[in-house]
């Protein structure tokens, strides 16, 4: 029993950390620009594909391929934000959904054309694919590394948004757009930087999590519901809450698949829908 609990917790937390790294970018952009970005998962898929291509075709190591893929996606997102997103900032949610769903279909077509229609199986480096003994159970090193990386990203992002001038400008642009411009803040640049940050986080999460969520053309649709659950239950712009919800979802999903293999994969969706119906503003705003 103890071995099962340790296994479920560690593997569930590792899955949750990947969901957090992908979802928190959407939480940031929705909290800043009020954009219902259904195409957020496409940035994660692109990051995962680029990372695998850099490793297999260019021979780069994992430690170089992951940040390189993240930077490339963040730079690409700057052009996408200016071309597609900036014209609809003042439009309604329906326009946001229609445009970003269209971008998802474009990403599926592009990724299929470039990398083929089949998922790319994960090929972890030897040192990540080994096991270590933790108490009564053996655990994959990759899972433990994911947990550590996710925790570092969580603390770094919280520090960036709450303890730096970028975070001050970002909150000013969100709270009072007109006053922020009046005091000399370039709101457009802040929005672009926030969007690039969100896309980069998604790409980083997709690249780091390729061992659990292998890249495939329909990646953006496949994990969209889980991403929206994390953001919807945590609340827009909430970093620590987003991490807590992602970890809870990861543990529930892992436990359900472990104990109920045939139908366990659906349990997390049922519970998340029920919880969202019960609450009006997210888990951390329950009355």
Residue 219, C-beta contacts closer than 8 angstroms, at least 6 positions apart: 41, 42, 44, 45, 48, 111, 206, 213
Going 159 to 160 to 164 to 168, the CA torsion angle's sign is negative
Q: List all residues 6 or more positions away from 122 whose beta carbon is below 8 Å from its beta carbon.
A: 210, 211, 212, 214
What digits encode the pLDDT tens for the residues 208-241?
999 999 999 999 999 998 998 898 888 766 788 9
CATH number at residue 258: 1.10.3470
Residue that is written with structure tokens 């790409």 in the block? 203
Evaluate whether 136 touches 70 at the Cβ level (below 8 Å).
no
Backbone angles phi, psi at 65, to 5 degrees: -65, -40
Largest CA distance in the chain: 61
**Residue-wise pLDDT tens digits, 130-182:** 999 877 788 899 999 999 999 999 999 999 988 898 888 887 877 777 788 88
Name which of 124, 146, 120 is nearest 20 in CA terms: 146
Question: pLDDT, tens digit, for every residue of 71-111?
Answer: 999 999 999 999 999 888 888 888 999 999 999 999 999 99
Band of residue 261 on the pLDDT scale cut at 50, 70, 90 = confident
For residues 263-272, average pLDDT: 84
For residue 284, pLDDT beyond 60: no
On whether the CB atoms of residues 20 and 152 are closer than 8 A, the answer is: no
How far apart are alpha carbons 209 and 13 in whole angstroms? 12
pLDDT of residue 149: 96
At 287 the pLDDT is 45
Q: 């790319």: which residue's tokens? A: 120
Spatial separation of the C-alpha atoms in residues 285 and 46, rounded to whole Å: 34
Sign of the torsion angle spanned by Cα atoms 185, 187, 191, 196: negative
| Residue 46 pLDDT class (50, 70, 90 cuts) | very high
* Domain extent for 13: 2-285
The pTM for the full model equals 0.91
**Does residue 263 surpass a pLDDT of 60?**
yes
How many distinct structural domains can be found in the chain?
1
């Amino acid at each position: 029993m103890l071995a099962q609990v340790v296994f479920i917790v560690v593997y569930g937390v590792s899955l949750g950390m990947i969901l957090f790294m992908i979802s928190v970018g959407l939480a940031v952009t929705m909290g800043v620009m009020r954009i219902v970005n259904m195409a957020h998962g496409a940035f994660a898929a692109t990051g995962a594909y680029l990372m695998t291509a850099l490793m297999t075709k260019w021979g780069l190591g994992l430690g170089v391929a992951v940040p390189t893929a993240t930077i490339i996606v963040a730079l690409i997102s700057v052009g996408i934000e200016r071309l597609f997103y900036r014209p609809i900032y003042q439009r309604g949610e329906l326009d946001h959904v229609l445009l970003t769903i269209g971008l998802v279909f474009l990403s599926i077509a592009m990724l299929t054309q470039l990398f083929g229609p089949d998922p790319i199986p994960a090929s972890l480096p030897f040192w990540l694919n080994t096991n270590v003994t933790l108490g009564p159970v053996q655990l994959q090193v990759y899972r433990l590394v994911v947990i550590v990386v996710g925790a570092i990203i969580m603390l770094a992002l919280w520090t960036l948004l709450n303890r730096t001038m970028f975070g001050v400008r970002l909150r000013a642009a969100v709270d009072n757009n007109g006053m922020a411009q009046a005091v000399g803040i370039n709101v457009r640049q802040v929005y672009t930087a926030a969007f690039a940050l969100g896309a980069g986080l998604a790409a980083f999460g997709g690249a780091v999590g390729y061992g659990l969520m292998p890249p495939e053309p329909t990646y953006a649709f496949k994990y969209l519901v889980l991403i929206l659950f994390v953001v919807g239950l945590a609340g827009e712009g909430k970093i620590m809450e987003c991490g807590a919800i992602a970890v809870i979802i990861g543990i529930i999903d892992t436990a359900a698949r472990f104990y109920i293999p045939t139908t366990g994969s659906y349990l997390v969706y049922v519970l998340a829908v029920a919880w969202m119906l019960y609450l009006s503003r997210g888990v951390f705003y329950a009355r």
